[in-house]
Amino acid sequence: MDSLPVVTSIAQDPARSTVTENSVRTQPIHTGMRSLKRVLFILLLGIGIGTLISFGVLYLPYDRIVVRGQPMSPVMSISSVHLRDGGFVVLYLNTDAGWELVGHSGYLRSGYHRNIRIPIDVTHVLQYRGRSFNARLYRDTGNQWLSEQADIPVNDIYGSVYQKRFWFQYPDRPLQQAWREFLDSPASFIIDHLIP
């Protein structure tokens, strides 16, 4: 009788089974290294983007106001201002007669400024029961004193006067007020919270 050739299966071949076990054992290490590299890449990318944004906020020439709704007070707080040229932040109250000037900052040099506090004329606010304000930027014409007639209001990219609207807040309605600010200008609301 002819004997049949013996076929060794791959699973029974000790040499092959060792290679398979080793490759299975080392796979999680390679996967872990790949994950670590991805995390480091994302972290470095985030740091790089954050650095570019910070550089732009501090040094690029542009005009911008960040102001949020706040409780009624005789002093208004402006979160931050960036001025291309030296000038002023001017606050206007929305009244039946139109926008009335109720306060302004001192002279601000060109560049980035934070936490500017501006006293306002409370008698106007109480007289009109005003809650709605606009903050505008004026470019100084050289004497470092605000003059609505002589100083130049800053315009936006469309040629209109650049202004930021905000409100005296009701303490018991923070979500409704945030929603109102978002509806007034969604892009500005998001950017102002991401880049103060």
CATH code given to domain 64-194: 2.60.40
What confidence tens digit (pLDDT) does each residue in 109-162 have? Answer: 999 899 999 998 877 677 666 678 899 999 998 888 898 888 889 988 888 888
Is the pLDDT confidence value at 5 over 70? no
Count of alpha carbons within 13 angstroms of residue 182, beta-carbon side: 8
Residue with tokens 């500017």: 116
Range 126-132 contact pairs with CB under 8 angstroms and sequence separation of 24 or more: 128/93, 128/95, 128/96, 128/100, 130/93, 130/94, 130/95, 130/168, 131/72, 131/167, 131/168, 132/93, 132/94, 132/165, 132/167
What confidence tens digit (pLDDT) does each residue in 7-64 have? Answer: 555 555 555 545 555 555 555 666 777 788 888 888 888 888 777 766 555 555 578 8
In one-letter notation, the amino acid at residue 168 is: F
Are the C-beta atoms of 62 and 188 separated by less than 8 Å? Answer: no
In one-letter notation, the amino acid at residue 156 is: D
- DSSP code per residue over the chain: -PPPPP---TTT-HHHHHHHHHHHHHHHHHHHHHHHHHHHHHHHHHHHHHHHHHHHHHHS---EEE---EE--SEEEEEEEEESSSEEEEEEEEETTEEEEEEE---B-SEEEEEEEEE--HHHHHHHT--EEEEEEEE--SSSS--TTTSEEPB-TTSSBPEEEEEEEPTT-HHHHHHHHHHH-HHHHHHHHH--
Give the Cα separation of 167 and 183 in Å (integer).
13
Is the pLDDT confidence value at 90 over 90? yes
Please, which pLDDT band fits residue 196 given cuts at 50, 70 and 90?
low
Domain boundaries, the chain: 10-60, 64-194
N-term to C-term CA, the chain: 91
**What's the confidence (pLDDT) of residue 104?**
94
